[in-house]
Copies of this chain bind each other. A is one copy, B any other.
Amino acid sequence: MTGTGAIIGATVLDGTGGEPVAGGTIVYRDGRIESTGPADQVEVPADVPVTDASGKFVIPGLLDANVHLFPQIPDYILLHRGRYEELIIEGAQLALSGGVTTVFDTCGPVDALIAARDSINRGDTIGSRMFVAGNIIGFPGPLAAEHAQHGNLLGGETLAAINADWEKGTGPDTWWLTPEHLAERVRAYIEQLDVDFIKYAASAHDTPQINYSARAQTAIIDTAHAAGLPVQAHTMSVESLRMAVEAGVDLLTHPNVTGSEPIPSETIDLIVANGIPSSANLWTERYMEFALAHWSTRRRTYYGPYVVENCRRLIEAGAELVLTTDGFIAGPRTRSHPYFSNCVPIEQAPDFPYHLGHSHLLWFEAAAEQGMTAMDALVSATQGVAKAYRKDGELGTLEPGKIADLIVLDADPLVDPRNYRRISDVVKDGRTVDLAALPQQRLASDDISV
């Protein structure tokens, strides 16, 4: 399921941050980039089909550092047991249709995620290339009391069985453990499941409480590193952020969420000095204004005061903020679900930042608003994500030997971030994607016009 081809005539922005190459040529064969450069330096072999993209712009396929492909409301969880893989693929196809050729799924039902990932990687199914963490170490399953009020609807056995499918031994019972025992759990999780990276919850899901002591965090990270897996940490406060940084994580998940405190300058300095990338949620001013008017008091306290300012300061200090959406399939059932009733009314929210396959386009606009240069944004959304996950040997740039994932745009994304929306073609593994056919099935989604 790989392809061969060449694109000529376009301005090539190769994701490394190097100078754009006008009238460049890219040749890819069997899914890998064979050669790239100015037209006069690159010869297109005779057997390669050529696309003339004169006047257009070629960028690497985008990578989203944080998505949740499975639409995690109880309705889908309960009514679609046995069909989770289909829902995940629907999500991966939505992402791909927006030019996101690779996604990093940081939380969901791990067996189905792995099955979907492998199906896509084998070429059995079209979809964004997936890397999977499975459960966030320390998070409870989706029907736990921490997430849902379930009245008397379901029996304890039912709840426990479903939660266990998510937790896989890494749920809240790990909060009790000594660092040594916690490391054993993480090791067992890695050994039993073929995950691509590890994410742990340094703090609780929705409060700044710290799930693991400094020693325990180190134990998680060391265990994952010993297995060759990069580690990221969910944090919700200045102290849990600092602890994760000091513990040595490879990637910070929404470090900009710090509630009533701004990130202390010394912590920002530490992030920059250690070169730790951040998958911070960048939200546009339009969205923030709407959200502040609609969030509950509690939510406003958590997300409101510094969520944007922290990003500006991180960017200004030179921290690397990689493309991320936290996106999910915000389809009709999800949008009207009581689960989200304390958030914004999704239908009415302008620039809603969690629409899988769409909201990454808004990220570029928010990045510009918050002080990132256009070239830095492009690099952060391509090479940056790949590096954060140690996948830059294969992904993220248009360089010979790399996987041939790329987007052809009708207009220059460096001139206006909205030009990322002007997708002409998406090529994944050297094959041009039939965007109009995605998703192939709509169990959860409807059409979000871009």
Q: Which residues of A contact B (CB under 8 A)?
A: 73-75, 78-79, 81, 143, 148-158, 172-173, 175-179, 181, 204, 207-216, 237-240, 242-243, 258-261, 264, 297, 301, 332-333, 336-339, 341
Alpha-carbon distance between A183 and B333 when the two chains are bound, in angstroms: 35
Closest to A215 in B: B239
Given A152-B338, A333-B155, A333-B157, A213–B243 Cβ distance below 8 Å? yes
Question: Would you mind naming 28 contact pairs between A and B with Cβ atoms under 8 Å apart?
Answer: A79-B81, A151-B153, A152-B339, A152-B341, A153-B153, A153-B338, A154-B338, A155-B333, A155-B338, A156-B297, A156-B336, A157-B332, A157-B333, A172-B207, A173-B260, A173-B301, A176-B237, A176-B238, A177-B238, A177-B239, A178-B238, A179-B239, A209-B211, A210-B211, A210-B212, A213-B214, A213-B240, A213-B243
Residues of B within 8 A of A208 (CB): 175-176
Determine the chain B residues whose CB is within 8 A of the CB of A148 once the complex forms: 151-153
Report the minimal beta-carbon distance from A224 to chain B, rounded to whole angstroms: 19
Contacts of A179 on B, CB cut-off 8 Å? 239
Residues on the B chain within 8 Å of A175, using CB: 207-209, 237
Residue on B nearest A180 in the bound complex, by CB: B264
Are A74 and B260 closer than 8 Å at their CB atoms?
no
Query: Shortest 8 CB-CB distances between A and B: which pairs?
Result: A149-B151, A152-B338, A210-B210, A209-B209, A176-B259, A213-B239, A78-B78, A151-B151
Docked-complex contact A242 and B261, CB < 8 angstroms:
no
Q: Could you tell me the distance in whole angstroms from the C-beta of A182 to the nearest C-beta in chain B?
A: 9
A259, closest chain B residue (CB): B176
Residues in B with CB closer than 8 Å to A337 are 152, 155
Most buried by B among A73, A154, A337, A341: A154
Q: Which of B75, B240, B258 contacts A158 (CB 8 A)?
A: B75
Q: How far is the CB of A234 from chain B (nearest CB, A)?
A: 13
Do A176 and B75 touch (CB < 8 A)?
Answer: no
Most B CB atoms within 10 A — which of A149, A239, A333, A338? A239
Rounded to whole Å, the gap between the CB of A180 and the closest CB of chain B is 9
Which residues of B lie under 8 Å from residue A207 when comparing CB positions? Answer: 172, 175
Q: How far is the CB of A220 from chain B (nearest CB, A)?
A: 13
Contact of A177 among B150, B204, B260 (CB under 8 A): B260
Which residues from chain B contact A261 at a C-beta distance below 8 Å? 176-178, 181
